[in-house]
Amino acid sequence: MAKLTFHGHSTFSIETGDGTRIVVDPWFTGNPMADIAAEDLEDLDYVFCTHGHEDHIVDAFPLVRRTGATLVSTFEIVMFAGSQGIEGGHPMHIGGGWDFPFGRVQMTPALHGGQVHGDESGQWTTVPGGFLFELDGTRVYHAGDTALLTDMQLLKGRVDVALLPIGDNFTMGPEEAVRAIEFIEPKVVVPIHYDTFELIEQDTDAFVEKVGSRARVEVMKAGDTMDLG
Ligand code: NI
Ligand code: MN
C-alpha cells in the first residue's frame, strides 16, 4: 500500500507498495512550513515538478544530483535541467500519461504562471500542470498551482484523493476549491498551498465546513502521513 506524507505548502513524498520513493514539488529550503530538510531525503527514485515556480522546484535539481532520482516534469523544465547538467529526466506534457514501473502518471492542465526558477535566459518558460498518479490502485491528483478549471470535470470519477490549493491570491481559494470538489467528486481532499505566506492565509475549519458532505477533508500537518487505499 502506498503512503503519502505532507511536508507543507505543496510538497509531498510518496512511498509506493513496491518501495519506490517519490517527491512532488520539493520545497524544503526556506519553506517555513517544512518538517524536514531536503538533506533528510535519501534514496529517492523520482522527483516530480508541476511547474517552475521557486516554491515547487527549488530543491528539485539538488535532490536529483545527490540521489540520482529521475526528474519528471514538463518538456521545458526537463530541457532546462539538461542545460544545467541534469541528464536523463523524463519529459512529459499536459494530457499525456506514462506507465512508470510504480504506476501510471498523467499530466493534467493547470492555469497559472509559466516562469521557471533559475532560468536566467527565459528560454524555458513552460505551461504549468498537475499530476494524476495511480498508486497501487489509488488515484491521487496533485493539482499543482491552478485556477478553478472547467476541465476538472473531466477528472470526475477518476480521483480518490485530491490535493487541492485553497490559498487564494495565487491559486484557487476555498470557494473555488469547493467547486473543484463538485467537479471532481474525490473521496478525500487534502488542502494545500495555504498559510505559508501572509497572502495565502486560510481558515481550514471554515473550509471543512464549506466542503460539508461533498468529500472527506484531511487537513494534514507537515510530517503527517496518510495510507492510500
Ligand atoms: Ni506557482
Ligand atoms: Mn506556488
Assign residue 192 the CATH number of its domain.
3.60.15.10
Q: Are 90 and 78 in contact (CB under 8 A)?
A: yes
Q: Is residue 208 part of a domain?
A: yes
Q: Is residue 173 part of a domain?
A: yes
**Spatial contact of 33 and 45, defined as CB atoms under 8 Å apart:** no
Q: Residue 82 C-alpha to ligand 2 middle, in angstroms? A: 23
pLDDT in tens, 90-120: 999 999 999 999 999 999 999 999 999 999 9
Number of domains in the chain: 1
Ligand nearest to the CA of 55: 2
Asked whether residue 207 is assigned to any structural domain, the reply reads: yes
**Is 224 part of a structural domain of the chain?**
no
**Domain of 27, in residue numbers:** 2-219
Confirm whether pTM is higher than 0.95: yes
pLDDT tens track for 68-96: 999 999 999 999 999 999 999 999 999 99
For residue 144, how far is its CA from the centre of ligand 2 (angstroms)?
8
| 17 CA from centroid of ligand 1 (Å) | 30
Tell the residue number behind the cell numbers 470526475, with chain if given. 156
Q: Grid coordinates standing for 157?
A: 470519477
pLDDT tens figures, 29-38 = 999 999 999 9
Ligand 2 being an ion, which residues bring their Cβ within 5 A of it? 53, 55, 145
Residue 43 lies in a domain: yes
Residues in the 5 Å CB sphere of ion ligand 1: 53, 145
In a domain, 45, yes or no: yes
